[in-house]
Chain A
Amino acid sequence: MSITMTASSPVTNSLTAGKLPKNAPMMVLAASWLVVGAIFAVIFLSGATESFNWAGTLFFGTVLYCIALFLFSYFVEGTRRAKDRLVTALVTIAFVVALIPLISLVGTTIVNGLPAFMTPTFFTESQRNVVGAGGGALHAIVGTLFVTGLATLISVPIGLLTAIYLTEYGRGRLARGITFFVDVMTGIPSIVAGLFAYALFSLLFNDPGIRFGFGGSVALSVLMIPVVVRSSEEMLKLVPNELREAAYALGVPKWLTIVKVVLPTSLAGIVTGIMISISRVIGETAPLLIVAGFTASMNYDLFNERMMTLPVFVYNQYASQGADSQAYIDRAWAGALTLIVIVMLLNLVARLVARTFSPKLGR
């Protein structure tokens, strides 16, 4: 009896019944790219288009993939699984789409920026008396280092002390107010920070045309302080309370506990946060354009005269091109490449610091 049964209906595994095979999505993707690619190849061979349409193939192939996968799954597995598969495909596509600008941006910057970036004068000369090709961005790099460095010197003490206040001392209304407004401050548009610095100093010195590097530092610190507070606060909160209690139990005063126990424990995280906040403000253009101005010459004095910075250099080279416009565009891209390299290095070093020196918490 049982023999006739199995002969009439094939044995099915109830656990895998009504399911697409595991590699089905990959196969459907490859198949739909091939199909669409074939269509475009026919169009190309018939002479309707000048070249094979790669972008169209990828785009329409992916659209076809979503539809085909949904339909296959709908008929084999039912509506619910089909929806699940569709969403999985869409979410993955969204991630890839989000990466496209990053890749395109870094790629173009490297390709367009390398020629001028590699010229020996780019890091040794300024733009003084340069018309057309040649010269360098030394004045802008020095300006960026000076302005950002001073902004860091202003922001770190204020930011760190505020973070300490919020984690160690702050109770009640003042602490809540500071937390709230620090969060709000992170959203201040960078150009408003620049306008503030300008408004402040032009009133103080009664000079409506005021431009100097220190103003840029103040504008950048308005943007930087909230970031420093936030990240340091998070790090200080991670310090286990047992450490503080142990110190108190030994009779250590509160301020010494903070200086000798809490801060060293969270130092790696705080340094990471500070480096990331530097990388945030080092690329700011708008506030520096407004209050630090632009110039073609070297300027080592933060309190006198206009000071060029790297982001403004990029903008300025692009916005006011001379007769030999390609030279200006090349320099703009080279400046952009320098900026990206600095920012990525800061980010990378910050992550390394965080990974190497952070205390091992928990198990």
Chain B
Amino acid sequence: MTTAVDRIAIKAKERPGDRIFSTATVVAGSLILAMLAAVALFLFVQSIPAFVAPADAFKGDFSNFWSYVAPLAFGTVWSAFLALLMAVPVAIAVALFISHYAPRKLAQGLGYLIDLLAAVPSVVFGLWGIGVLAPMVQPFYANLVDWFGWFPLFAGPVSGTGRTILTVAIVLAVMVLPIITAICREIFLQTPVLYEEASLALGATRWEMITMAVLPFGRAGIISAAMLGLGRALGETMAVAMVLSPNPEVIFQLLTSQNSNTIAANIALNFPEAHGVGVNILLATGLVLFVITLIVNMIARVIINRRKAFSGAN
């Protein structure tokens, strides 16, 4: 029955302006896809020499590219993981505060305030981390090693400058906090008001309402927000490069002056002086970082998109 209607679909007249304009938009859109492909392609082409580079091309004591990049990849993931461990609970709490606890009139202003944190350039975070945070937390680290040194992660000797991976993780946590907060806040605000009112009407306290209505509704959103934060923390360069005192090994200890470096910071520190195949090696580590963040971001986006399809909120 409907097929008959479909067949006589009226076609709008195509003007030259229309054709030019729509083509331009399609070209622009495709250009973005081409750009992403170009990023992967050029990085790959330029890093081929690194994969076959001889052992003496690497700074330090490494036999091949993979043994060179492994400690860096570990440091990247480890610092980002520590940062998330601190940032996610605080971010959820801050998002809840803005969406459900703060007075309505203040809420938007408070949201801007947190967003301002996202606007601070990373190099300023680096200066702050090295000039303010590291000296401030160092005595605290010394106590931690004295009292809890038996715990493997806190084993000594303590760093005298405070420039450890834990300090880096704190700086990273501050840097990713605004992103996670912004997404969580948006998702918490999408909770159907009827659910919230219904649970309050049944006598639930505000916290019970949040655990029963808001958090289950936002679970997927929280996970993907955390993963986007993870992607940001993995790729953060300057703050790590300035604060960390690095060592090319896999090191789990949080408080010593020997720390695994991250891929991004290693590139930033070595690129200006690199030459010959050294440049290709750094580009290849960049490719590894690109692949890691791409995977993390794609997983996060798939989760968000799937949730979007199911929720009745939009």
What count of chain B residues pass the 8 Å CB interface test?
95
Given A162-B28, A165-B28, A286-B122: 18 more A-B contacts, CB < 8 Å: A83-B207, A91-B93, A92-B101, A98-B90, A98-B114, A108-B132, A109-B128, A161-B29, A165-B26, A175-B29, A178-B30, A181-B32, A181-B36, A187-B232, A192-B235, A196-B43, A200-B38, A315-B242
Let me know if A66 is at the binding interface, CB within 8 A.
no
CB distance from A328 to the nearest CB of B (A): 12
Report Cα–Cα, A211/B312, bound state, in Å. Answer: 51
Query: Is A191 a contact of B235 with CB atoms below 8 Å?
Result: yes
Q: Sorted from nearest, which 5 A-B pairs have the closest CB atoms?
A: A189-B235, A283-B121, A94-B93, A161-B28, A165-B25
Query: Is A187 a contact of B228 with CB atoms below 8 Å?
Result: yes
Report Cα–Cα, A167/B286, bound state, in Å. Answer: 34
Let me know if B279 is at the binding interface, CB within 8 A.
yes
Let me know if B127 is at the binding interface, CB within 8 A.
yes
Query: Is B272 a contact of A188 with CB atoms below 8 Å?
Result: no
Query: Is B205 a contact of A81 with CB atoms below 8 Å?
Result: yes
Let me know if A325 is at the binding interface, CB within 8 A.
no
**Identity of the chain A residue whose Cβ is nearest the Cβ of B234 in the assembled complex:** A189
Query: Is A283 a contact of B123 with CB atoms below 8 Å?
Result: yes
Which residues of B sit under 8 angstroms from A92, Cβ to Cβ? 97, 101
Report Cα–Cα, A200/B113, bound state, in Å. Answer: 38
Report Cα–Cα, A109/B120, bound state, in Å. Answer: 11
Let me know if B21 is at the binding interface, CB within 8 A.
yes
Report Cα–Cα, A161/B28, bound state, in Å. Answer: 6
Query: Is B29 a contact of A166 with CB atoms below 8 Å?
Result: yes
Given known A-B contacts A188-B290, A347-B119, A254 and B18 have beta carbons under 8 A apart: yes
Report Cα–Cα, A87/B205, bound state, in Å. Answer: 11
Which residues of A sit under 8 angstroms from B15, Cβ to Cβ? 253, 255
Let me know if B17 is at the binding interface, CB within 8 A.
yes
Q: Which of B90, B124, B297 contacts A184 (CB 8 A)?
A: B297
Given known A-B contacts A92-B101, A190-B237, A255-B17, A178 and B283 have beta carbons under 8 A apart: no
Query: Is A256 a contact of B237 with CB atoms below 8 Å?
Result: no
CB distance from A115 to the nearest CB of B (A): 15
Which residues of B sit under 8 angstroms from A185, Cβ to Cβ? 32, 35-36
CB distance from B290 to the nearest CB of A (A): 5
Query: Is A169 a contact of B22 with CB atoms below 8 Å?
Result: yes
Let me know if A177 is at the binding interface, CB within 8 A.
yes
CB distance from B221 to the nearest CB of A (A): 14
Query: Is B29 a contact of A178 with CB atoms below 8 Å?
Result: yes
Query: Is A340 a contact of B120 with CB atoms below 8 Å?
Result: yes
Proximity string of chain A (266-298) to chain B, C-beta cutoff 8 Å, 1 when within and 0 when not = 000000000000011011111001100110000
CB distance from A173 to the nearest CB of B (A): 11
Report Cα–Cα, A320/B122, bound state, in Å. Answer: 18
Query: Is B301 a contact of A196 with CB atoms below 8 Å?
Result: no
Which residues of chain A (315-359) have a CB below 8 Å from chain B?
315, 318-319, 332-333, 336, 339-340, 343-344, 347, 351
Let me know if A71 is at the binding interface, CB within 8 A.
no
Let me know if A261 is at the binding interface, CB within 8 A.
no
Q: Which of B29, B128, B181 contacts A105 (CB 8 A)?
A: B128
Q: Which of B91, B94, B205, B286 contacts A195 (CB 8 A)?
A: B286
Query: Is A161 a contact of B36 with CB atoms below 8 Å?
Result: no
CB distance from B72 to the nearest CB of A (A): 13
Let me know if A90 is at the binding interface, CB within 8 A.
yes
Query: Is B205 a contact of A80 with CB atoms below 8 Å?
Result: yes
Which residues of B sit under 8 angstroms from A282, Cβ to Cβ? 121
